[in-house]
Amino acid sequence: MSTPTILIMAGGTGGHIMPGLAVAEAMQQRGWQVLWLGHPERMEGSLVPQHGIKMLPLRFSGLRGKGVKALLSLPFTLIRACWQAHRCLQEAKPDVVLGMGGYVAFPGGLMSFVSRRPLVVHEQNAVAGTANRYLAKMATSVLTGFPGALPGAVTVGNPVRDAFVGQGSAAERYAKRSGPLRILVVGGSLGAAALNKVVPEAMALIPAEQRPHVTHQSGQQHLESLQKSYADNQVQADCKAFIGDMAQAMKEADVLICRAGAMTVAEVAAIGVAALFVPLPHAIDDHQTANARYLSECSGAWLKKQSELTAQWLAQWLQGLNREELSRVASHAQEHAQLNATQQIAEACQQAARRVG
């Protein structure tokens, strides 16, 4: 009996690629061969082969904001991408195709539908991306990370790494703590400048004896300027270019100040940490605000627009917090965690393959 094969389509950003890799590992553990359809010159081109997964190249990228010339060339670009996808499907002969988002997923998914191969779509964000909105109409099975992202879909949550699972009760963790609050700031790779400016200024407005302890991840390119900002404000902070064990850092924090990517929201819920989400204001379709609302509307997080985030507001807000309230918010977040997403997606892929096979 031949080894079944899954072709995963995901690319462009870590928000699509990392959950795809989690499912890839789950499928390998189930005895499946995993292949990947992606752009060789984007993030997936370097990341996926590092995990021992063969990548089939497809050169197709987003057109939003690229002007009239790109739009006029779209039919030709799409036809070429569909032809590439067709050749990849002929080579791979997958038993099932999984679309995890990113523009490469559209031509691959379209040609999967045309060739009558089982197609499973998973949308990570609370507002569906362009590719998945179309592919959902062709798919054998449609899954989402958040309720209501796609009509008729099954909400399974987003895959989170094992390090974020089984970290114990948030309420018990907070109950054991005392002393100054511990703040973790994670700006993300995009648009970190706003948090890097406001947080040091806010800390300077809090009296030294009441000031929280701050750990701030800036990214390598912003590290020097962030350290200078804290120094200029006469505030001590632990500034890091990168935090290797983010699960442990979140677990140790009383408050997390961060963006609201789909994976971040899932990790906040899985760990059970009180988070202030400041959505990236220029995210496509403002999907980060919608992601954040999943927890903020059930009292499992706070949501603040970047345009309203000032040093004065943040300083006052932080001084008004106490661990009892933080424990409540973290516990509400943890109650909304969906920890079995990876296995549910893997199971949906197997079922879709069986349906046709």
Query: Cα–Cα distance between 34 and 24 in angstroms, integer?
Result: 6
Instruction: Please check if 155 is assigned to a binding site.
Output: no
Burial status of residue 138 (CB atoms within 10 A of its CB: 0-12, 13-18, 19 or more): middle
- Structure-token match 């790109």, residue found: 70
Instruction: Please check if 5 is assigned to a binding site.
Output: no
236, β-bridge pairs: none
CB 236 within 8 A of CB 203: no
Instruction: Please check if 15 is assigned to a binding site.
Output: yes
Instruction: Please check if 288 is assigned to a binding site.
Output: yes
Query: Cα–Cα distance between 282 and 37 in angstroms, integer?
Result: 28
Tally of CA atoms within 13 A in the half-sphere of 101 that contains its CB: 24
Instruction: Please check if 79 is assigned to a binding site.
Output: no
CB 117 within 8 A of CB 98: no
Burial status of residue 263 (CB atoms within 10 A of its CB: 0-12, 13-18, 19 or more): buried
* Residues in Cβ contact with 343 at an 8 Å cutoff, skipping those fewer than 6 apart: 26
Instruction: Please check if 20 is assigned to a binding site.
Output: no
CB 128 within 8 A of CB 106: no
Calculate the dihedral angle through the C-alpha atoms of 289, 149, 266, 239, rounding to the nearest 10 degrees: -30
What are the C-alpha distances in Å from 124 to residues 105, 132, 155, 286, 338?
13, 10, 10, 14, 13
- Binding-site residues, in ranges, read 13-15, 125, 161, 189, 243, 288
- Binding-site residues for UDP-N-acetyl-alpha-D-glucosamine, in ranges, read 13-15, 125, 161, 189, 243, 288
